[in-house]
Amino acid sequence: MAVFPWHSRNRNYKAEFASCRLEAVPLEFGDYHPLKPITVTESKTKKVSRKGSTSSTSSSSSSSVVDPLSSVLDGTDPLSMFAASADPAALAATTDNSRKKRDRDDNSIVGSDFEPWASKRGEILARYTTTEKLSINLFMGSEKGKAGTAISAMSEKVRTRLEELDDFEEGSQKELLNLTQQDYVNRIEELNQSLKDAWASDQKVKALKIVIQCSKLLSDTSVIQFYPSKFVLITDILDTFGKLVYERIFSMCMDNHSILPDHFSPENVNDTAKETCLNWFFKIASIRELIPRFYVEASILKCNKFLSKTGISECLPRLTCMVRGIGDPLVSVYARAYLCRVGMEVAPHLKESLDKNFFDFLLTFKQIHGDTVQNQLVLQGVELPSYLPLYSPAMDWIFQCISYHAPEALLTEMMERCKKLANNALLLNSVMSAFRAEFIATRSMDFIGMIKECDESGFPKHLLFRSLGLNLALANPPESDRLQILNEAWKVITKLKNPQDYINCAEVWVEYTCKHFTIKKQEITPHPTLKPPILSSQSQPWKLKKREVNTVLADVIKHMTPDRAFEDSYPQLQSIIKKVIAHFHDFSVLFSVEKFLPFLDMFQKESVRVEVCKCIMEVFIKHQQEPTKDPVILNALLHICKTMHDSVNALTLEDEKRMLAYLINGFIKMVSFGRDFEQQLSFYVEARSMFCNLEPVLVQLIHSVNRLAMETRKVMKGNHSRKTAAFVRACVAYCFITIPSLVGIFTRLNLYLHSGQVALANQCLSQEHGTLLFRDICRASAHNRQQWGSSADAFFKAAISLVPEVPKMINIDGKMRPSESFLLEFLCNFFSTLLIVPDHPEHGVLFLVRELLNVIQDYTWEDNSDEKIRIYTCVLHLLSAMSQETYLYHVDKVDSNDSLYGGDSKFLAENNKLCETVMAQILEHLKTLAKDEALKRQSSLGLSFFNSILAHGDLRSNRLNQLSVNLWHLAQRHGCADTRTMVKTLEYIKKRSKHPDMGHLTELALRLPLQTRT
Amino acid sequence: MGTALDIKVKRANKVYHAGYTLRCDMRRSLLAKDLTKTCEFIVHSAPQKRKLTPSPVAFTVTPETLQNVKERALLPKFLIRGHLNSTNCVITQPLTGELVVESSEAAIKSIELQLVRVETCGCAEGYARDATEIQNIQIADGDVCRGLSVPIYMVFPRLFTCPTLETTNFKVEFEVNIVVLLHPEHLITENFPLKLCRM
């Protein structure tokens, strides 16, 4: 094929731009425009037909602006109506009403402010555990006795075999011994499942037996440490049972057509349902043993609703009394807790029963110290201080139920009653756990007094202080007492010998200290009467307030350091840190707390230390509003970030690395030395040496440095002085040195390009084109060559030399993908920049483009891929743009080739020669596609080349004209072309031909036949 | 046509609920299946018209009040007091009362209510008396708190009780025993005859 010469079309970018622009049409006053405010004038008689506005006949007589959205609503919208009626009197009335309503609701439904049992469950299961062996003894079918003993041996055998198949058949007994806690939990879960199965298969009797046997397990107090958890597990089964029975009876009430409403009355219940319900109660009333009878009846308490209106209110007090028959105080208190739980669910308004449970419990309180209990403890080898806390979950629950929305007087009475009893630490603890925090907080000093008086041998004191601390973290004690409270409490806490006890307590009190002895910035207001010097009014309160926190932290360090006690308490220590940083949003203050950093040193296990560092950084990123240069913050955070960075090793997960990098980047972005750019750069230098293992951080640093260079340019308004020019070159050098240490190939490529653009914008070229003309360039000084390393060309050259290294497949989000499309994208981007990069005097014309073309030529492209040709087409576009007299865009203060060469004919000739080579390549490739399977590709590639010529070539040239006609035919030759596209293209050509200077296209259009479908 | 109708009445009280069952079988010719239908029912006697007078009983149990004791000196000391609200009971209403363990040297194991049915058949040669335990209800489990009243509460089982019946040669009567079990092996029983009626 002959070589086709290339003739670029001359472009007048300005004119093209102007012709592409949409014409601005002024809007007439009456014309409709969607963004124009709709003005409604009084128009009741005159109908204005305005498209899109539905409010044309709005009754609004004002000429105010009406929003089309609000105009849809006929009349006032409900929200503004509400606002309008919000005059004080009306408001008071409504709130009054709603309060009354709420009060009424309170009686029947427990509000969301009541902490539900479900939230306690997990905590109890986690806290009350045992390593001792447990047993489950299930004995089914005691009622029948030995009725079937006189059967033949044969049938007996069959019977036992059947029993083995079904554990819960009559007369089977099963004792499971030596269960670990997990086994036990699993068994109970199995029982729960078999209960559901039995129920589903209509074996109601079996279901009842399972429930009875399960509740019987609650009378067993062996392995007493596990009792609270056992209670949780078994009451789950009871809850299931209660629900099943209720739902079944409820479903029986449904007639064919009507469903019983939620708040039904017993009259609506039909006789069959009533009879079934009654039957359940009769069956349960005949259960021989007290504890199962109690629990099972309590579990179906709700079913009383079917029988009579007063059923529940009669039943609850009776069940409350029934608990008195339970001798073991622990078993009985849990029975009461269950009753309160069911009671709160079914009838929260029956407060009397709750109170009665509480007072009954107080009456039996002395039993705990009685012989029976003491003997049992000796037998099981359990000490009193570990026995008493077993009561807490049940008591806390009972206390919580009672104190819910309870009047102050009742709480006071309860507290007084508790005070009177001897050894009341246990009660005191529950009072503190369950009562409103405000109630406790206002009486903090009383409580401290009471705690001090408690017997040392009983309930552990540190638990009491912990409970008190929890309240004080939620509610505010009287202002005047705050310091005294802390002093009194800490006096006791600091004396705790066991590090575990100590830290559990300290953890809670740290929050108190942080909450009440730190203040937010806005709270600092100068004293109204005094006018102290500004310095003391601002810094003094801070100093004063952080003192307590510092003292507390120091004390924790003192306690936890001996014998490396901190190793066992990382969770608590971590929580302390979290509490502290939650209250210190100003990091300069935080780091000036002397003991804060020494405290961090206690986290010696790397994973924990990194966790803590992450927390701190998260809070910093969240709360640091303004960039900082505070040396205290910088030093501390650099240290923290370094810790995070140094934890990265070969085994670190990608996600973890990403997280760490995100946090470190957040910090880097927050560091600013203001106008001190040199300091800023040296910070980036330091950061680079510290965080070299995290690629995203390096990327961030490069971007930051580039930004710094651009900032400098902005400050200098584009005219660098000798000093700033040197500084900018330093920035550029920084990037140039840093990029090669990155791994990601496209990261490197894009950063080279980006940094190159920044260098270009800052006139960092290998020579000072700005003032030189083409002739002078030949005399480029040696000095300029030395700075090669910090010039834009260097970046572009580096990028070009990197292209051959691009692998065919790259890993993107864990998947291998072909890289060609990414490379194409990058190269196109690159070409756009190359347009404005001026040539280097020591290299030939268009040396960067030439080098890039060589690289593209040598790159091993995928077989059967046209990417290379697509790139060549783009190169053709680039070269066409380069041959224009004035380029499409420029960088300020950088002379591009257009002004350097000034349309020199030699330059243009070189350019055209390059074009010819590229075109030859394209045509060569098109020829190779003449095979069957490639025809489609040939067609589309041909068309795209045709389009390129159309857009960039000068079709007045005969050869080019002929080529385009050939390409048109080629595209259609094998019927592979999309007819619609061809038609559109032809239409476009015809349209273009009407433009001035484009007349020659008319002739071309005539030479382009459209292939008919036949 | 060879169709037969059988009606059987069967007493069945060992299962959880059933008084009597009425079963009706219809046998039909070869070509048709037999039909069966069962129906449960409970037989009540007619309510009595007379008015029930409550008859409360108070009791005190100490080692001294016991009969049938072999060696009174070996008994631990205890004082149990209580009352039944009435020994004349309406069969549909529970038996109620209170019991207080005022003091006891020995730990208490269990306190139970035992309902006993006494059937007496009389004839010329004398009479036969047959006492059956029909229900046992535990009201206290373990060493109950001293001085705190424990409720006595028992629902009469529907299928095993009937109003007290007294004829010339046949009697059905009911009694309740309050049984206190002490550690290690002491069993104390206090017996109260009841009079049941249906109102």
* Residues in chain A closer than 8 A to B155 (CB atoms): 282, 285-286
| B84-107 average pLDDT score | 89
- Identify the CA nearest to A140 among candidates A178, A201, A191: A191
Partner-chain contact B141 A286, CB within 8 Å: no
Closest Cβ opposite residue A324 in set B17, B108, B150:
B150
Three-state DSSP state, A964: helix
pTM value is: 0.63
**Nearest-CA distance from B102 to chain A in Å?**
13
Asked if A321 lies within 8 A of B151 by C-beta distance, the reply is yes
* Secondary-structure breakdown of chain B: helix, strand, coil percentages, each rounded to the nearest 5: 5, 55, 40
CA nearest B155 in A: which residue?
A285
Average pLDDT, chain B: 81
A180 phi-psi bin (left φ>0, alpha ψ -120 to 50, beta other): beta
Identity of the residue in B144, B148, B157 whose CB atom sits nearest the CB atom of A286: B157
User: What contacts A777, CB < 8 A, 6 or more positions away?
Assistant: A767, A769, A841, A900
Percent residues over pLDDT 90 in chain B? 14
DSSP lists the bridge partners of residue A173 as A139
- Note whether A286 contacts B17, CB cutoff 8 Å: no
- Gap between the Cα atoms of A897 and A498, Å rounded: 80
SS (H, E, C) A33-71: CCCCCEECCCCCCCCCCCCCCCCCCCCCCCCCEECHHHH
A332: left (phi over 0), alpha (psi -120 to 50) or beta: alpha
Of all residues in chain A, the one with the smallest CA distance to B149 is: A324
Pick from B139, B148, B155: CB nearest A290:
B139
Would you say A382 and A223 are in contact if contact means Cβ atoms under 8 Å apart? no
Q: How far is CA A20 from CA A12, A13, A462, A821, A947, in A?
A: 12, 10, 80, 30, 19
B4/chain A closest Cα distance in angstroms: 32
Q: How far is A215 from chain B (nearest CA, A)?
A: 14
Distance from CA of B101 to the nearest CA of A (A): 11
Phi, psi of B158 (to 5 degrees): -65, -35
Which residues in chain B have their CB less than 8 angstroms from residue A321's CB?
Answer: 150-151
Give the type of residue at A806. Answer: V
**Is B145–A325 a contact, with Cβ atoms under 8 angstroms apart?**
no
Number of A/B CB contacts below 8 angstroms equals 82
B contact test, residue of A324, A332, A371 with most B CBs within 10 A: A324
Nearest CA distance, B1 vs chain A (angstrom): 38
Residue A262: what pLDDT?
67
- DSSP labels, A538-598: HHHHHHHHHHHHHHHHHHHHHHHTGGGGGGG-HHHHHHHHHHHHHH---HHHHHHSTTHHH
Q: What angle do CA A267, A274, A197 make, to 5 degrees?
A: 135
With CB atoms and an 8 Å threshold, state whether B148 touches A363: yes
Q: Can you read off the two tokens belonging to residue A933? A: 């399977």
State the Cα–Cα distance between residues A681 and A823, nearest whole angstrom: 32
pLDDT of residue A258: 63
Residue of A nearest to B96 (CA): A318
Distance CA(A582)–CA(A577), nearest Å, equals 8
Distance of alpha carbon A211 from alpha carbon A234, whole angstroms = 9
pLDDT tens track for B1-35: 455 666 666 654 443 344 677 888 888 877 778 88
Q: Greatest CA separation found in chain A?
A: 127
A356 class by beta-carbon count within 10 Å (0-12 exposed, 13-18 middle, 19+ buried): middle
**Interface of chain B toward chain A, CB-CB under 8 angstroms:** 14, 16-17, 94, 107-108, 111, 135-145, 148-151, 153-155, 157-158
The more confident residue out of B43 and A1005 is: A1005
- Tokens read off for B131: 């006492």
Query: Measured between alpha carbons, how far is A849 from A852 in angstroms, rounded to an integer?
Result: 5
Residue type, B155: V
Say yes or no for a CB contact (<8 Å) between A327 and B155: no
Q: Which residues of A touch B (CB under 8 A)?
A: 144, 147, 205, 219, 279, 282-283, 285-286, 288-291, 293, 318, 321-322, 324-329, 331, 360, 363-364, 366-367, 370-372
Find the closest chain B residue to A145 by CA distance.
B14
Hey, are the CB atoms on B145 and A363 less than 8 Å from each other? yes
User: Rg for chain B (alpha carbons), in Å?
Assistant: 23
Chain B residues with CB-CB distance to A318 below 8 A: 151, 153
Distance in Å, alpha carbon of B57 to nearest chain A alpha carbon: 20
State how far the Cα of A699 lies from the Cα of A658, in Å rounded to an integer. 12
Query: A326, B158: Cβ pair inside 8 Å?
Result: no
Give the pLDDT score at A788: 44
Give how far the C-alpha of residue A627 lies from the chain's centroid of Cα atoms, to the nearest Å: 24
Shortest CA distance to B177 belongs to which of B48, B87, B76, B62?
B87
Q: How far apart are CA A776 and CA A787, in angstroms?
A: 19
Which parts of A803-866 fold into alpha helices (H)?
A: 820-834, 847-858
Beta-bridge partner residues of B39? B22
Reduced to 3 states (helix: H, G, I; strand: E, B; else coil), residue B77 is coil
**pLDDT single digits (tens) A975-1010:** 777 888 888 888 988 888 888 778 888 888 888 888
Q: Do B155 and A282 touch (CB under 8 A)?
A: yes
The DSSP letter of residue B80 is E
Separation between Cα atoms, residue A486 and residue A441, nearest integer Å: 12
Q: Per this entry, what is the length of chain B? A: 199
CB A658 within 8 A of CB A696: yes
CB atoms near residue A932 (< 10 Å)? 7
> What 3-state class would DSSP assign to A241?
helix
Looking at residue A569, what is its pLDDT?
A: 82
CA distance A316 to A342: 10
CA atoms within 13 A on the CB side of A937: 17
Structure tokens at A6: 């290339």
Is residue A724 within 8 Å of residue A712, measured between CB atoms?
Answer: yes
Chain A neighbors of B148, CB-CB under 8 A? 324, 360, 363-364
Q: CB B142 to CB A283 under 8 A? A: no
Q: Decide which of A756 and B53 is more confident.
A: A756
Q: Measured between CB atoms, which of A219, A291, A364 is closest to B148?
A: A364
* Cβ neighbours of B135 in A, within 8 Å: 286
What chain A residue is nearest to B135 in terms of C-alpha separation? A286
Indicate the pairing of strand B186-197 with strand B149-154: unpaired
Please tell me the distance from the alpha carbon of residue A254 to that of residue A256, in angstroms, as a whole number: 6
Phi, psi of A231 (to 5 degrees): -55, -45
- CB-nearest to B141 from A285, A290, A367 is A290
Give ∠ CA A477-A482-A488 in degrees, rounded to 5. 110
Is B17 within 8 Å of A279 when comparing Cβ atoms?
yes
Q: How far apart are CA A622 and CA A615, in angstroms?
A: 11
Please give the residue of chain B at the shortest CA–CA distance from A360.
B148
- Tallying the residues shown for chain A, one arrives at 1014
End-to-end distance of chain B based on CA atoms, in angstroms?
49
CB contacts, 8 Å: A331 with chain B: 142
Spatial distance between the Cα atoms of A611 and A595, rounded to a whole number of angstroms: 19
> Taking the CB of residue A795, how many other CB atoms lie within 10 A of it?
27
A293–B137: do the CB atoms touch at under 8 Å?
yes
- Residue A242: partners with Cβ closer than 8 Å, 6 or more residues away: A299, A300, A301, A302, A303, A342
Q: Which of A283, A324, A329 sits opposite B151 (nearest CB)?
A: A324
Is A324's CB within 8 Å of B107's CB?
no
Distance from CA of A171 to the nearest CA of B (A): 14
Q: Decide: A790 and A731 in contact? Cβ < 8 Å.
A: no
Report DSSP letters for A866-921, one per residue: -HHHHHHHHHHHHHHHHTSSS-S---TT---HHHHHTT-HHHHHHHHHHHHHHHHH
> From CA B112, how far away is CA A301, in angstroms rounded?
24
**Which residues of chain A are under the pLDDT cut of 50?**
43-66, 68, 70-78, 80-107, 141-171, 520-544, 767-789, 1014
pLDDT of residue A97: 47
CB nearest to A327's CB, from B14, B141, B153: B141
Of the CA atoms within 13 Å of residue A984, those in its CB half-sphere come to: 7
Of A327, A331, A360, the CB nearest to B140: A327
DSSP string, A704-745: HHHHHHHHHHHHTTT---HHHHHHHHHHHHHHHHHGGG---H
Nearest to A839 by CA among A897, A796, A783, A799: A897
Contacts of A327 in chain B (CB under 8 A): 108, 140-145
Determine the pLDDT at residue B197.
85
